[in-house]
Homo-oligomer: A and B are copies of this chain.
Amino acid sequence: MTEIKLTSEITVEEIQAVGDDAMIAHAAMVSTRGAMDGEAVPPEKAAGLIRYLMANRHGTPFEHGCLTVRVHAPIKVWREWHRHRVGWSYNEESGRYKQLDPVFYIPPRERPTIRPDGFKSARPAFDVATDDEYQQVLMHLEAGYRAAYLHYQAMLEMQVDRGLARDVLGVGIYSACYCTANPRSIMHFLELRTNRPDAKRPSKPLFEIEVAAGNLEAIFARRWPVTHAAWNECGRAAP
């Protein structure tokens, strides 16, 4: 019998990227320099221009570049991520073409998990579980995942279509996906999928997609530091 693996890790790895802050400034300057735009934009000028573009919602210059990441996350995260349609491309592991690996999500100890009295769906805020509650949650998740994977394997042994047998597998099972997006689309994603006190327009994302978003933001900030800083200064409102 296959052992199932339980994990809280949600990983985002950089695969490739092109375009940087200078490229954004360069593309923007075609507006005013036209065809004579061969010269490089000096870094200080680029930074000022990027802040101006961000503050005035000139979004298109932030589309000249892209980042490809490989992400390993539970299906429930993909259910939300794939709803980002514009400027995002995806290729995901297939439940029809391969047997899904028995890797399932469990919350880390610190995840706010329990609905307090007076909980409101529109502004979801949770308490961290007690030790006992946390153990019970793990028990329920593990038992559910394990039973499902056993039935899945039994059906695969019968040569049942993988695209049907997987129907028992919970949305906590992991799936790998390649995602490619441009900086503008990345900022839109991060604006909606992180919850930060300095955001002009607060969001209440699902805990797990926020973990993924945090990992993506670190890569984004390294590759486009001036853009990332300007976006933060503008209250994390995507242009």
Contacts and interface: CB of A to CB of B under 8 A. Distances in A.
Interface of A: 15-19, 23, 26-28, 30-35, 37, 52, 56-57, 60-61, 63-66, 68, 70, 72, 74-76, 78-79, 82-83, 85-86, 88-98, 100-101, 103-105, 107, 111-116, 119, 121-122, 124, 126, 129, 133, 136-137, 140-141, 143-145, 147-148, 151-152, 154-155, 158-161, 163-172, 174-178, 180, 182, 192, 201, 203, 206-207
Copies in the complex: 4
Closest 9 CB pairs between A and B?
Answer: A167-B172, A144-B168, A18-B18, A63-B89, A85-B85, A144-B151, A34-B93, A35-B176, A140-B151
A160 B172 CA distance: 15
A15 to B, nearest CB: 8
A108 to B, nearest CB: 11
A86 B86 contact: yes
A74 to B, nearest CB: 7
B52 A122 contact: yes
Contacts of A88: 85
A48 B111 CA distance: 32
Contact of A34 (B101, B144, B148, B155): B101
Contacts of A164: 107, 111, 113, 137, 207
Given A16-B65, A32-B97, A167-B170, 18 more contacts: A16-B23, A16-B64, A31-B92, A31-B93, A32-B121, A34-B98, A63-B89, A76-B163, A82-B82, A105-B167, A137-B164, A140-B154, A140-B165, A144-B148, A144-B167, A161-B207, A168-B172, A171-B171
A171 B169 contact: yes
Kindly name the residue among A18, A88, A100 whose own CB sees the greatest number of chain B CB atoms within 10 A: A18
A215 to B, nearest CB: 15
A203 to B, nearest CB: 8
A125 to B, nearest CB: 10
A102 to B, nearest CB: 12
A153 B24 CA distance: 31
A143 B137 contact: no
